[in-house]
Amino acid sequence: MKIALAQQNYHIGNFEDNTRKIIEGINWAKEQKADLVVFSELCVCGYPPRDFLEFNDFINKCYESIDIIKQHADSIGVLVGSPSRNPQKEGKDLFNAVFLLHEKEIKSEIHKTLLPNYDVFDEYRYFEPAYDWKVMEFKGNKLAVTICEDIWNMGDNLLYRITPMEKLMPFKPDVMINLSASPYNYAQDIVRNSIVKAHTVKYKLPMLYCNTIGSQTEIVFDGGSLVYDINGNKVKEMKYFQEDYQVFELETLSKKSGPSKPPSLPGDAGVYFYSAMDVGQDVNTLDYLADKKNIEEIYHAIVLGIRDYFRKMGFSKAILGSSGGIDSAVTQALAVEALGKENVRAILMPSQYSSSHSVSDAELLSKNLGNPYDIIPIKNIYESFLTMLKPVFKDLPFGIAEENIQSRTRGNLLMALANKFGYILLNTSNKSELATGYGTLYGDMAGGLGVLGDLYKTQIYALAKFMNENKKIIPGDIITKAPSAELKPNQKDSDSLPEYDILDRILYQYIELRQGPAEIIAKGYDAGLVARTLKLVNTNEYKRNQFCPIIRVSCKAFGIGRRLPIVGKYLS
């Protein structure tokens, strides 16, 4: 039997486009003489649909799409993911389901058992877990079909009480097939490969794993669909950050040979799989995150994140403030790659505190990239604010209020231009700044999309160097000069924050690895610095709560995947 995998990019709630895309995948598989074609989790409606699932009309449209798709499942079997209604009154109204379509009919339906309810996932909010298990029979083969999280209950610290494959093995399946919507993070390729390999070794069956690609607001899906044979050998790793289609012979995947290379670490039944946390603990943290492989992946993830956000929102043009600093420079270069140079407008807004080289560096960057730019000095606007506020401010000394007026002036100008010309404002704040509250609400924190909000400052320097490898795009002075907000004379970030190479390591331990102060201090960090840093993180939750969506590239990004109380007292 020939099985095709269709790794596609869907649009949440765009039933017409998703249905068209799925039918195109079916037709491609027919041309390849495939017997069965596999799509990804909830492909009919797009993942994650979130509270759209609470609308009966939304579910009706899912079923209407399946009715259209099944007309093309005549001579070929089709596995598609969609919500399905729960006929029982007990439990939630929906299942996260896979339908087997063949001969223009729904031949079988299975339901997801393990419903993730952590980080960016909230499936138990909407779906009822499966309460029975069965294989899907197709052309003389028994298919053990699972959905994404269903294969992740493996290792030494199980998150769930039920492991779906254990329920399916008594039916003596011939192959494992997993329909997935697994988001990208820096460790996910290692994690996915280890979990799929672990299954083939443990259950002695081949596995075909079909993942989606594309960005849905802040979540990037990177593809990388996998096929492992019965011996635990990787047969194919499909493209990352691109749509891809491949066909495989089940008979070939099922041929037994010598054992595959044994796992490098012990674990469940002699099989170990890496989690994102394992990878973070296994390596020298930020040194690993900033290495070339991960930076190249992050580059492609962010470019895809920007491109899909604009395309799926119906926008084409971006605007950003170009300061001559590293963050705005990297954001600008990424936007040009994603949207085209003619669609990215940079605005230089120098004040009396801006250095001359900041302006010239920003101009040189736009010339290198070929994108349009404008210079709008803010000195007069800023001084008019001070004049109007003088009777109220009286003779109080210059401070944070005066600094923030400059930032909010720039935010106002950028939003005015965005409104006037139909741009989306790209925010340039990084994770180090957002973590510590080093930013101005309604000023440099304004924007429709946070491009670098899940990257620490040290990673942004690594990203800039990566982007300069083949062609010098970002001027060298931008990379080498000390970072500064330039809101007062001779200001540097290090006046307010620890040096980034130390700060970022502490933040990583706390945010990604969820280490407490004692654990971080035990790694050799100064106790006072750790206490100060963690206090900054926790007392600035109110700022992050008002921030725009951030393109997620780590295993723990600010936003929907990190939910903390604003008024909490812990470590503050």
Residues that are catalytic: 41, 112, 148
What three-state secondary structure class fits 236?
strand
Report the alpha-carbon distance of residue 497 to residue 442 in Å, rounded: 21
Q: How many CB atoms lie within 10 A of CB 472?
A: 10
Q: Which residues pair with 180 in a beta bridge?
A: 211
What DSSP assignment string belongs to 251-267? HHHT---SPPPPPSS--
Listed in sequence order, the residues at least 6 apart from 278 whose beta carbon sits closer than 8 Å to its beta carbon are: none
**Side-by-side strand order, sheet with 2-7:** 105-111, 94-102, 77-85, 36-38, 2-7, 244-249
User: Which among 81, 160, 158, 155 has a CA at the least distance from the CA of 113?
Assistant: 160
Considering only CA atoms, give the Rg of the chain. 26
Report the alpha-carbon distance of residue 165 to residue 173 in Å, rounded: 10
Amino acid identity of residue 565, one-letter, is P
Cα-based distances in Å from 227 to 79, 145, 242, 364? 16, 14, 17, 47
**Is the four-CA dihedral 304, 308, 310, 316 of positive or negative sign?**
positive
Report the alpha-carbon distance of residue 490 to residue 378 in Å, rounded: 18
Report the alpha-carbon distance of residue 470 to residue 364 in Å, rounded: 18
Cα-based distances in Å from 392 to 204, 386, 389? 76, 10, 5
Strands 136-138 and 105-111: unpaired
User: Which among 393, 417, 431 has a CA at the least distance from the CA of 302?
Assistant: 431
Report the alpha-carbon distance of residue 232 to residue 524 in Å, rounded: 41
CB 156 within 8 A of CB 268: yes
Listed in sequence order, the residues at least 6 apart from 74 whose beta carbon sits closer than 8 Å to its beta carbon are: 103, 104
